[in-house]
Structure 1
């Protein structure tokens, strides 16, 4: 049903809504369902994956790869409930990163420096920004897994417990706000953090340049008709 409603004219609305709902849910379930945070979050992420795949169904090469990732993700979630496997959480974080990176790349091909500018593309640029912050949040979670003292202001725990806090820290860094309540302690973590700040600044410049140039080209094309 939802697949019939999603088209190339509105697909980024659904994707952006799914990403925002995922971020909001990750922050709310910590207080609502203590002890079940990871399980609920894994389900929410799986639904977000599905919405992303349907929303970007126009990109056939991307869609097949993402479908495989979703199947692996669901298999790992089920396997996690049945048996203990060392480093399974690291595999899930890497899988999430691969999915968000694939989604990010697909959106870039569809909206940057190509075609006319419309509201769907503007919303797509918001989805790009959210995906950029989520990818860095996953990198921080991976750093925490290998170096629990890499960040100050955050308690050591499972990735599901810290997902919301790392997402918050990532977007604060991406927008160069830097509140200071969470901070990098190790040299490697500090390098990754300032690289994200640089990426955030360049993202704004690239997206604005892309939308402006596409808008100007659209106006010129309309005037020539």
Structure 2
């Protein structure tokens, strides 16, 4: 029992000092699970399990930022419930609503982390983790928006492989990452007007995030090192 307490103590200290690191790690580790997800029941169950881990972590990080915590829970609780019910009872409509709520939650959490990173002129290690976590939150948020757009406007996205079928979740997430990072591989393309507008908004958000938040953190870090 004593050894277990000693083992858990460093993790508790790390969680208090670097909560953003846990969210970033969960987001990146979930990428390793997504290739196992498909349109089968087991794949959707795995997708729901990942959401149930990442969503509370997003709320936890918002609690550590200047954002109002009850708004995050107001989005997270129904999102998790709809995900559980939609997966267990194979109800795609509920998953669509949960995706909308999760997109809103991720954007809200990203806004909270941006406010956290901009609230002073000191750069902590957790703020550097927050910069990475914010990027993943924006990428996931837009991926959920693409998922909803595809459901409302069938045929919104086309790909080089089987261009007529709806894009899978991992494909939409890949599109989101390439747009947000401005790499743009081009193997998945927005076809409908709403999809193209969303892609342009994400491209603008990605450029703005790097130009304002990331560049500011880099500049403050360089200034701190020069002072030493």
TM-score normalised by the chain length of structure 1: 0.81
Matches within 5 A, 1:108-123: 108-112=114-118, 114-123=120-129
2:169 corresponds to which residue? 163
1:27 aligns to 2:35 (yes or no): yes
Q: CA deviation digits over 1:148-175, x for unaligned, max 9?
A: 2111115645xxx821110001111222
Write the distance in 2 (CA, Å) between the matches of 1:61 and 1:202: 21
Q: Give the unaligned 5+ runs of structure 1.
A: none
Listed as ranges, the gaps of 5+ residues in structure 2 are 1-7
Q: Are 2:59 and 2:69, in contact at CA under 8 Å, matched by a contact in 1?
A: yes
The answer on whether the counterparts of 1:62 and 1:102 sit within 8 Å (CA) in structure 2 is no
Contact persistence 2:79–2:98 (CA under 8 A): yes
Distance 1:143 1:101, change over 3 A: same
Aligned to 2:112: 106
Instruction: Confirm whether residue 40 of structure 1 aligns to residue 46 of structure 2.
Output: yes
Deviations 1:95-125 (A, max 9, x none): 1112101211111111125241133211211
Verify: 1:17 aligned to 2:25, yes or no.
yes
The alignment's C-alpha RMSD in Å is 3.0
The equivalent residue for 2:156 is 150
How far apart in 1 are the matches of 2:33 and 2:91? 27
Match of residue 192 from structure 1: 198
Choose from 172, 179, 189 the match for 2:178: 172
Counterpart pick for 1:132 among 133, 138, 147: 138
Equivalent residues of 1:114, 1:214 under 8 A apart: no
Give the paired residue count: 217
Moved over 6 A (4+): none
Q: Deviations over 1:188-219 (max 9, x none)?
A: 32232223222222221112332145447757
